[in-house]
Chains A and B, each alone.
Chain A
Amino acid sequence: MASAHSIPSIEERFEFTSGAKRNLLIGGGVGLALVALGAYLAATGGGHEAAAHGAEHAANAIGHATAEHAASGHEAAAAAEGHHAKSWVARIWANLWVNGVYFAGISVIGMFFISYNYLAQAGWSAVFKRVPEALPAFLPFTGIVLLVTFFFGGHDLFHWTHEGLYEVGGSEYDKIIAGKRGYLNTPFFVGRLVLYFALWYGLWRVIRNLSLQEDEIGGTEFYEKSIRFGTAFLVVFGVTSSTSAWDFIMSIDTHWFSTMFGWYTLASWHVAGLAVITLTVVMLRERGYLRAVNASHLRDLGKFIFAFSIFWTYVWFAQFLLIYYANLPEETIYYLERFRGYGGFYKAPFFITLFLNFFFPFLVLMTRDSKFTHSILKVACWSVIIGHYMDFYTNIMPGTVGAGAELGALEWGFFLIFLCAFAYSIASQLEKANLIPRNHPMLEESLHHDIA
């Protein structure tokens, strides 16, 4: 237990060394190579297999589904007959979408973290505030990825973009989806997507600038302003976190809906974001930075991850239990697809998710000492980061690529590319300012943070 009696210097600059840059670029290159390999394998070998699975599933779907879901059965059958090439291209779009959504969420959680710390006028987090502050810089990148993916792959990913669904009397006409047209239509969807990213990124820029000015000038004026903008962001995010979850993920399974979904996605993003913040702090400490972060800060971060992995599980289970218990066909189809559909492919990721996001961090982070032990924190953070990637994977893949999905070179390649790009973005943001916000009014309190 480090005592707060000797406080290291607060003047430190992070240096993004050329070695670190090179490693991240190599990581991205490996990711790219994996993607190329995966795409090659999928385009040459995997297609037939996927089509076979698709046909199998179509038969299943028709067998099991209620009248309402016969439509999706038709679609799967059509996919199996006609669009063989579609499956692996769709897989690439779906991968871009999974990673785009996941990393956009983690990025915006940086802003979320700063905002609620401002609103609560929390002192303890001031010393490592630059770390969450660095995350949202990645938002434009993910926003563009999502936008581009939607323009080119939207038709493959989102069933509701098919025009035929809305033609009354047409062979593809779907009354339920037609009823959702007021919300789920391309112009409104793209408008919302742009609006989310504009609002999140714009408010972050304001707070970031205030924070950088505060570093140079000092005084409490910037702090007061940050509280106001942070609060404004929380109001915005309170709505947009839910609506973006509906848009980005829930609308893929267009018939299905869950009133828990916004919370569920927010919980997922939040704990993954906390894991990234903690991991960054730990890695900075290992490289000799942020010595002013003491065991109490680390323990509080560990508690945060511990608590919010339980929160995620709670929301996950609340959603699951209600659907399981009520047993309404239009709701249970969502879990049936993941348990039994597509040859049971999603069952493994589904339960691995639960293990990586709940049981592992729960047991590992339970004791007091583990929460400030670097090695244990790192393992727990990675478990949560990979676990929540799998969480988004199991949410998005069944409705987009279905039987064509794999968890192979293509998936991990894309994940690696995004991870390296994200780390690059964080590191270059950290380099821009003093690592410790030297004029933050709460800094003194934070430096003496001691929870004994």
Chain B
Amino acid sequence: MADLSGKYLVGVYDDDDTVLHAVPRLRKAGVKIKEVYSPFPIHGLDEALGHPRTRIGIAAFMFGVTGCITALTLMIWTMGIDWPMIIGGKDPISIPNYIPITFELTVLFTAFGMVITFFISNGLGPGTHFHPRFDVRSTDNKFVMAIDLGRNSMSEEEISRALKDSGAEEVNIKQF
């Protein structure tokens, strides 16, 4: 059996509705789809592709809690314990004064944490090199479906035929 790693079949569709209906059909036939690229978001596509739900919300909450605790600890320690300071006639530890900064750090940690998590989990950002371009027209007027042959048990011909049947106007082979 030939080495199929890095070899992709790329189906190009002309219509968002066609691709949306093609996805469940192909999956039913046993084709494992890597990803569908589209110039705009298509409602229901994520569900159809069966992608697991993103867990970035959980990460965001954790980052937020971290930011909140960091801010409060920092202020309570520096302003209230290590070197108590009276500002504006308030107690050294006066929580209401700390709320704006706590809020800011919570938001800051959440925002940065989410961006970094997103970059890492998607293999983006500096130092990453594999950015396959299956078909540049997916940023313009075509809907592009990528199928990793190395991860499919079906043969190239079978998948190619299934893609054509599901409405793809062309099927190309890409090797990375």
Chain A residues proximal to chain B, CB less than 8 Å? 1, 3, 317, 320-321, 324-325, 327, 366-368, 450, 452
User: Please, could you name 22 A-B residue pairs with CB atoms under 8 Å apart, sorted by A?
Assistant: A1-B47, A3-B44, A3-B47, A317-B96, A317-B99, A320-B96, A321-B96, A321-B97, A321-B99, A321-B100, A324-B96, A325-B96, A325-B97, A327-B88, A327-B89, A366-B61, A367-B57, A368-B57, A450-B43, A452-B44, A452-B46, A452-B47
B110 to chain A, nearest CB (A): 12
Interface residues of B in 92-130 (CB under 8 A from A): 96-97, 99-100
Q: Enumerate chain A residues within 8 angstroms of B100, measured Cβ to Cβ.
A: 321
B61 to chain A, nearest CB (A): 7
Specify the chain B residue showing the minimal Cβ separation from A368. B57
The 4 closest A-B pairs by CB, nearest first: A450-B43, A324-B96, A321-B96, A452-B46
Specify the chain B residue showing the minimal Cβ separation from A369. B53
Q: Enumerate chain B residues within 8 angstroms of A327, measured Cβ to Cβ.
A: 88-89
Q: Other than the known A3-B47, A321-B100, A324-B96, what 20 A-B pairs have Cβ atoms closer than 8 Å?
A: A1-B47, A3-B44, A317-B96, A321-B96, A321-B97, A321-B99, A325-B88, A325-B90, A325-B96, A325-B97, A327-B88, A327-B89, A366-B61, A367-B57, A368-B57, A450-B43, A450-B44, A452-B43, A452-B44, A452-B47
B55 to chain A, nearest CB (A): 11
A368–B60 Cα gap in the complex (Å)? 13
Q: Enumerate chain A residues within 8 angstroms of B90, measured Cβ to Cβ.
A: 325
A425–B47 Cα gap in the complex (Å)? 41
Q: Enumerate chain A residues within 8 angstroms of B96, measured Cβ to Cβ.
A: 317, 320-321, 324-325
B36 to chain A, nearest CB (A): 14
Q: Mark B65-108, 1 if CB is under 8 A from A, else 0.
A: 00000000000000000000000111000001101100000000
Specify the chain A residue showing the minimal Cβ separation from B100. A321
Q: Enumerate chain A residues within 8 angstroms of B88, measured Cβ to Cβ.
A: 325, 327
B32 to chain A, nearest CB (A): 22
A452–B61 Cα gap in the complex (Å)? 21
Q: Enumerate chain A residues within 8 angstroms of B46, measured Cβ to Cβ.
A: 452
A367–B56 Cα gap in the complex (Å)? 11
- Binding site secondary structure of chain A: loop
A324–B89 Cα gap in the complex (Å)? 11
Q: Enumerate chain B residues within 8 angstroms of A321, measured Cβ to Cβ.
A: 96-97, 99-100
A4 to chain B, nearest CB (A): 8
B73 to chain A, nearest CB (A): 20
Q: Enumerate chain A residues within 8 angstroms of B57, measured Cβ to Cβ.
A: 367-368
B100 to chain A, nearest CB (A): 7
A336 to chain B, nearest CB (A): 14
Q: Enumerate chain B residues within 8 angstroms of A366, measured Cβ to Cβ.
A: 61
A1–B46 Cα gap in the complex (Å)? 12
Q: Enumerate chain B residues within 8 angstroms of A450, measured Cβ to Cβ.
A: 43-44
Q: Enumerate chain B residues within 8 angstroms of A324, measured Cβ to Cβ.
A: 96
A212 to chain B, nearest CB (A): 32
A325–B91 Cα gap in the complex (Å)? 11
Q: Enumerate chain A residues within 8 angstroms of B44, measured Cβ to Cβ.
A: 3, 450, 452
Q: Enumerate chain A residues within 8 angstroms of B43, measured Cβ to Cβ.
A: 450, 452
Specify the chain B residue showing the minimal Cβ separation from A296. B43
Q: Mark B36-66, 1 if CB is under 8 A from A, else 0.
A: 0000000110110000000001000100000
A452–B99 Cα gap in the complex (Å)? 34
Q: Enumerate chain B residues within 8 angstroms of A320, measured Cβ to Cβ.
A: 96
Q: Enumerate chain B residues within 8 angstroms of A1, measured Cβ to Cβ.
A: 47
Q: Enumerate chain A residues within 8 angstroms of B97, measured Cβ to Cβ.
A: 321, 325
A187 to chain B, nearest CB (A): 41
Q: Enumerate chain B residues within 8 angstroms of A325, measured Cβ to Cβ.
A: 88, 90, 96-97
A367–B57 Cα gap in the complex (Å)? 8
A398–B80 Cα gap in the complex (Å)? 34
Specify the chain A residue showing the minimal Cβ separation from B45. A452
Specify the chain B residue showing the minimal Cβ separation from A324. B96
A366–B110 Cα gap in the complex (Å)? 14
A286–B128 Cα gap in the complex (Å)? 51
Q: Enumerate chain B residues within 8 angstroms of A367, measured Cβ to Cβ.
A: 57
Specify the chain B residue showing the minimal Cβ separation from A5. B44
A367–B44 Cα gap in the complex (Å)? 20
Q: Enumerate chain A residues within 8 angstroms of B61, measured Cβ to Cβ.
A: 366
Specify the chain B residue showing the minimal Cβ separation from A367. B57
A307 to chain B, nearest CB (A): 15
A6–B150 Cα gap in the complex (Å)? 38
A142–B3 Cα gap in the complex (Å)? 78
A321–B88 Cα gap in the complex (Å)? 13
A3–B46 Cα gap in the complex (Å)? 12
A356 to chain B, nearest CB (A): 19
Q: Enumerate chain B residues within 8 angstroms of A317, measured Cβ to Cβ.
A: 96, 99
Specify the chain B residue showing the minimal Cβ separation from A450. B43
A3–B45 Cα gap in the complex (Å)? 12
Q: Enumerate chain A residues within 8 angstroms of B89, measured Cβ to Cβ.
A: 327
A325–B97 Cα gap in the complex (Å)? 8
B59 to chain A, nearest CB (A): 13
Specify the chain A residue showing the minimal Cβ separation from B88. A325
A320–B61 Cα gap in the complex (Å)? 27
Specify the chain A residue showing the minimal Cβ separation from B87. A325
